[in-house]
């Protein structure tokens, strides 16, 4: 501990051991401490009692034990929580993730957690969706190993809590501290920070609200940028001085407050990545963004619809002021609509000019500016037609997540059944992954393309039996294309195995249950 004597604040992201003993040791350092419990702190204890035990031991000291909690030290806001783990954050196959997580969490108890009806209901639903055995727990006294579904539920809750806290404006730097990594990164995996995940979406939506993310659960030091946010894990990164970094952030805040301009700091360069990927199940990432935009657009619609009648008032001055208010409100609506348009662009083929024109029309709201502009004559702008277009836009956006997710569900279900049928015939096959754009269009979502590693096979027989055995609602609803290949290597598209398609089906079910 002697090496931290020059620090202003010590951040500990788990990994010390027993929570009470660790707090007692940290309290003797004489520095403000931000302490987030991890797996090591939870071993041998009920998961629900760890933070409380830590806070009790830290009473009257400089140690701040954070479990979905925050503290402000020297003008810096620290948001802390273990985060826990989920399949999306690790990008492991769901079966592999379950096995690994069950082993890691086994020493932690969750009997008290499972006794809460709201907890057990959500966890049991996740177990059912993924065909996991539900713990045989009667509620009697005794130890119950922490189940992976518990970690998944707590991961969702933590990300929601973070989103709520980041939405609250704070005039200073914000540092997120967690035990688990926001997105798993393997050594040498340069593409990891480009993959979609719930935490990645959180940072994408709150990029300007987070200055740094620190986590402890890393076997080696990690230094990546996710959606423009610096994310550090494990040991200190040699080429990165956190003290200088935070001093720059504090200086930037001070400069803004004094209205003397900004400190010259390198601008953030957001990493460009898809908002949607089929592996996420589509529903959650789309809903998370769409719901935020819908709230903004509905608020504007309500405000505008209330004052539109006053655009026909007797007073010319009043009419101009009302129109000015409407014009200002519509700028908020247009910004939200433009962001929704960006999402929609990812769900349409880029060369579809007709749809591109329709998308642009949805963002074209230009009411008169009103006061203090000088209008040569009374405007004939049709505000009620604009309200009608706003309602249609809101209705379209509210239906988008479910539409896209339902088409993915149908495609994944059909692909899984076809690959399973081929596997039963000892035929090695892969499904060609559709793009998110394809899932936006009904005719493309019903197209199944399969690559088969075989030279001689009876395609017509397979197709005929598939129509009988795998009919949906009494009718085969897919256009099936099967081609043979000598190797799955070198194919320009993405090929999905039976296990990968099963993972997509599970992701669709998981996000539907947890939305």
Q: Are residues 386 and 464 in the same domain?
A: no
**Is 202 a domain residue?**
yes
Q: Are residues 126 and 45 in the same domain?
A: no
**Is 233 a domain residue?**
yes
In the chain, the largest separation of any two C-alpha atoms, in whole Å, equals 83
Q: Are residues 374 and 419 in the same domain?
A: no
**Is 264 a domain residue?**
no
Cα 462 versus chain centre, distance:
39
Q: Are residues 467 and 451 in the same domain?
A: yes
**Is 137 a domain residue?**
yes
Task: Give the residues across from 36 on adjacent strands.
Answer: 13
* pLDDT on residue 263: 38
Q: Using an 8 Å Cβ cutoff, are 367 and 333 in contact?
A: no
Task: Please state the rounded mean pLDDT for residues 5-20.
Answer: 85
Q: Are residues 122 and 182 in the same domain?
A: no
Phi, psi of 289 (to 5 degrees): -75, -45
* pLDDT on residue 378: 56
Last residue of a domain, one of 382, 402, 422: 402
Last residue of a domain, one of 364, 379, 402: 402
Q: Are residues 469 and 333 in the same domain?
A: no
Q: Are residues 307 and 386 in the same domain?
A: yes
Q: Using an 8 Å Cβ cutoff, are 231 and 211 in contact?
A: no
Phi, psi of 190 (to 5 degrees): -75, -15
Q: Using an 8 Å Cβ cutoff, are 280 and 334 in contact?
A: no
Q: Using an 8 Å Cβ cutoff, are 142 and 111 in contact?
A: yes
Q: Are residues 285 and 361 in the same domain?
A: yes
In whole angstroms, give the CA distance from residue 294 to residue 384.
Answer: 20
Q: Are residues 147 and 166 in the same domain?
A: no
Q: Are residues 72 and 101 in the same domain?
A: no
- 3-state DSSP call for residue 296? helix
* pLDDT on residue 267: 42
Taking only the tens place, the pLDDT of each residue in 453-479 is: 876 666 677 666 666 655 554 455 677
Residues 6+ apart with CB under 8 A from 9: 31, 32, 33, 34, 73, 74, 76, 78
> Where would I find the H helices in 363-449?
383-424, 436-440, 442-445
Number of structural domains, the chain? 4
Supply the pTM of this predicted model. Answer: 0.52
**Is 345 a domain residue?**
yes
Taking only the tens place, the pLDDT of each residue in 139-196 is: 455 568 888 889 989 998 999 999 999 988 888 889 999 999 887 655 444 444 445 5
Domain limits for position 99: 94-151
Q: Are residues 182 and 45 in the same domain?
A: yes
- In percent, how much of the chain has pLDDT > 90? 13
Q: Are residues 309 and 384 in the same domain?
A: yes
Q: Is the pLDDT of residue 452 over 90?
A: no
Last residue of a domain, one of 402, 431, 466: 402
**Is 271 a domain residue?**
no
* pLDDT on residue 57: 93
- DSSP conformation class of 450: E
**Is 115 a domain residue?**
yes
**Is 266 a domain residue?**
no
Cα 267 versus chain centre, distance:
24
Size of the chain in residues: 515
Closest CA to 508 of 412, 400, 403: 412
CATH number at residue 182: 3.60.21.10
């Amino acid at each position: 501990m002697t090496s931290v004597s020059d620090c202003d604040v010590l951040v500990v992201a788990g990994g010390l051991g027993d929570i009470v003993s660790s707090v007692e040791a940290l309290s003797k350092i004489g520095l403000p401490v931000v302490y987030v419990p991890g797996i090591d702190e939870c071993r041998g204890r009920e998961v629900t009692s760890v933070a409380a035990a830590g806070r009790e031991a830290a009473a009257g000291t400089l140690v701040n034990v954070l479990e979905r909690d925050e503290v402000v030290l020297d003008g810096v806001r620290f948001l802390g929580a273990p985060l826990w783990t989920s399949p999306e954050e690790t990008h492991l196959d769901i079966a592999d993730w379950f096995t690994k997580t069950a082993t890691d969490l086994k020493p932690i108890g969750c009997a008290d957690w499972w006794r809460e009806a709201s907890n057990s209901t959500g966890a049991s639903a996740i177990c059912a969706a993924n065909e996991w055995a539900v713990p045989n727990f009667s509620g009697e006294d005794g130890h119950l190993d922490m189940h992976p579904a518990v970690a998944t539920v707590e991961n969702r809750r933590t990300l929601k809590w973070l989103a709520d806290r980041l939405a609250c404006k704070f005039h200073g730097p914000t540092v997120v501290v967690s035990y688990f990594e926001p997105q798993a990164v393997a050594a040498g995996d340069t593409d990891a920070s480009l993959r979609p995940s719930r935490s990645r979406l959180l940072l994408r939506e709150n990029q300007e609200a987070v200055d740094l993310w620190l986590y402890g659960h890393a076997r080696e030091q990690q230094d990546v940028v996710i959606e423009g946010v610096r994310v550090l894990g494990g040991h200190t990164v040699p080429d990165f001085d956190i003290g200088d970094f935070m001093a720059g952030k504090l200086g930037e805040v001070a400069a803004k407050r004094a209205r003397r301009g900004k400190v010259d700091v390198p601008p953030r360069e957001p990493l460009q990545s898809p908002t949607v990927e089929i592996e996420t199940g589509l529903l959650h990432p789309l809903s998370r963004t769409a719901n935020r935009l819908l709230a903004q657009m509905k608020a504007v619609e309500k405000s505008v619809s209330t004052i539109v009648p006053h655009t026909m008032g007797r007073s010319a001055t009043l009419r101009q002021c009302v129109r000015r208010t409407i014009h200002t409100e519509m700028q908020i609506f247009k910004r939200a609509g433009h962001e929704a348009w960006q999402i929609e662009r990812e769900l349409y083929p880029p060369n579809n000019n007709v749809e591109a024109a329709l998308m642009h029309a949805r963002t074209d709201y230009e009411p008169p500016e009103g006061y203090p502009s000088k209008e040569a004559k009374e405007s004939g702008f049709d505000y009620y037609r604009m309200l009608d277009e706003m309602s249609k836009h809101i209705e379209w956006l509210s239906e988008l997540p479910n539409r896209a997710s339902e088409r993915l569900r149908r495609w994944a279900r059909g692909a899984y059944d076809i690959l399973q049928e081929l596997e039963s015939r000892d035929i090695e096959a892969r499904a060609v992954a559709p793009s998110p754009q394809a899932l936006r269009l009904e005719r493309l979502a019903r197209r199944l393309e399969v690559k088969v590693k075989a030279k001689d096979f009876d395609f017509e027989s397979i197709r005929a039996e598939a129509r009988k055995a795998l009919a949906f609602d009494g009718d085969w609803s897919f256009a099936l294309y099967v081609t043979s290949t000598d190797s799955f290597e070198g194919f320009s598209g993405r090929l999905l195995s039976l296990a990968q398609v099963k993972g997509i089906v599970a992701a669709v079910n998981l996000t539907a249950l947890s939305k």
